[in-house]
Amino acid sequence: MSHLHKRFTSDQVKELLERYLKKEVERSYIQEILAIKKRRFFTLINQYREDPHHFSIQYQRTTPPRISPEVEQNILKELTIEKRLIQDKETPLKSYNYSFIKDHLRKKYRQKVSLTTVIRRAKKHGFSLKKPKRTTHDREVLTRYVGELIQHDSSYHLWAPAAQEKWYLITSLDDYSRLILYAALVKKETTWAHILALQTVILRYGLPYCYYVDSHSIFRFVQGRDSNWRKHHLLTDEATPQWKQVLDDCNVKVTYALSPQAKGKMERPYGWLQDRLVRICVREDIADIKPAQQVLRQEIHRYNYQQVHSTTQEIPYFRFQRALKEKQSLFREFKISPPYKSVKDIFCLRTDRIVDPYRHISISPLQFKVHADPHKQVNLRIYPLNDEISEIRFWCEGELIDTQKVKNSELKDVHF
């Protein structure tokens, strides 16, 4: 088969690409017409998006420029760092990222090289791995509305090797738009950390139709599996975990991934984030969670507002906004349901206590005097204000009877 530029003019190819972008013709038909493969097709699409007016398929033969010894040295230096990270079993990296090296050379050293140049040097000097056999999986978007399904997950890895400790990355992603609604690094995975994620998403975007999570004990109680559950989650008196009680109060459904394959499908969209976060933390020698969180925010912004998603072929933010504009949304306005008065009554940890004959209730080792009759049940809604202080809101028979602030260190029975 002859070259593309010998069979078609640039204008003919532009017309076909434009019809694909307008969703008038499917990709498979255009590939067959042009007799090109998928990789070549998306290369043309990217070139056309970058500069539609000067798009051309005309081939110009030029002598490839030689890179300077300094550039060569920096490429090998970055490849060596990649190899060390891949060999470290504590990091989540399993393969080389040549595109990241190309971008990093431009940002850090102000050296512009092609991806092909990086790949050639990698293969020449042994910085490459055999491609693993890929299992077949479905990457299509199965939802029709923003807010229809929020994928919520956490990953535990050595994000910043210089810190010499693993952190949890908690994320929430809208399935339809692929917009990441929430992302935070925390040192400990706690019920409160996941409730805080709910609060952030719901107060900013509204109430979604459904959350999609795995069967972690924070999200779901399974008696046969969690033999020590009541010991580890002393605050939850029922078989419904605290996190789900919040969603129940908000009338939001929860769907569980019941198999490793289903959980893997949920985690795949975060692979790029894990990949870049580790690499940047290593290059910048980050050893503390606060600067790592800044890197995370930068990468989330890049992903949400600048990067075309491989599945939707749209930038997540603009896909999300278009759906809202076209009323293609299942988000609902969040309102505090009576008798509750504050978001602190909804996004909180909760437990029940019975008033003793002296009108006291206790959460070991604390004891509180309350304005309620003996033997009445009081519902305590506990809202951490910061790492040190929590506010306890006392509810009895649909009325707020008291509020008190206590030190978190004194709440021995509360699993934050």
pLDDT on residue 222: 64
pLDDT per residue over 252-298, tens digit each? 999 998 765 565 555 555 677 778 899 999 999 999 999 999 999 99
- Long-range CB pairs of 150-153 (<8 Å, 24+ gap) are 150/174, 150/175, 150/181, 150/201, 150/208, 150/210, 150/211, 150/212, 151/175, 151/212, 151/266, 151/269, 152/194, 152/197, 152/211, 152/212, 152/213, 153/213, 153/214, 153/266, 153/267, 153/270
Whether the predicted pLDDT of 38 surpasses 50: yes
Query: Mind listing the pLDDT tens digit for each residue in 351-409?
Result: 999 999 999 999 878 999 999 999 999 999 999 999 899 999 999 999 999 999 999 88
Among 150, 177, 174, 145, which Cα is nearest to 318's?
Answer: 177
DSSP state of 186: E
Could you list the beta-strand ranges (E) of 60-192. Answer: 150-157, 167-174, 180-186
- CA dihedral for 222, 226, 232, 237, sign (positive or negative): positive
Residue 243 pLDDT exceeds 50: yes
pLDDT band for position 64 (cuts 50, 70, 90): low
Greater confidence (189 vs 267) lies with: 189
- Kindly tell me if the per-residue pLDDT of 34 is higher than 50: yes
Residue 220 has pLDDT above 90, yes or no: no
Enumerate residues 6+ apart whose C-beta is below 8 A from 333.
Answer: 206, 207
What average pLDDT does range 29-57 have in this prediction?
Answer: 89
Q: Looking at the predicted structure, is the pLDDT value of residue 88 above 60?
A: yes
How confident is the prediction for the chain on average, in pLDDT?
87
- Would you state the pLDDT for residue 227? 44
As a whole number of Å, the CA-based R_g of the chain is 27
Give the pLDDT mean for 82-108: 89
User: Could you tell me the pLDDT band of residue 230, with boundaries at 50, 70 and 90?
Assistant: very low
Residue 122: pLDDT band (50, 70, 90) is very high
Residue 239: which pLDDT band, with cuts at 50, 70 and 90? Answer: confident
The pLDDT of residue 365? 85
- Residue 311 has a pLDDT of 84
- Helix, coil or strand: residue 60: coil
pLDDT of residue 2: 62
- CA dihedral for 199, 393, 338, 237, sign (positive or negative): positive
Calculate mean pLDDT across residues 207-221. 91
The answer to whether the CB of 384 falls within 8 A of the CB of 392 is no
Predicted structure pTM score: 0.75
% of the chain with per-residue pLDDT over 70 = 88
pLDDT in tens, 299-330: 999 999 998 888 889 999 999 999 999 999 99
Please report the pLDDT score of residue 416 as a whole number: 59
CA dist., res. 394 & res. 401, Å (int) = 6
Mean pLDDT of 125-150: 77
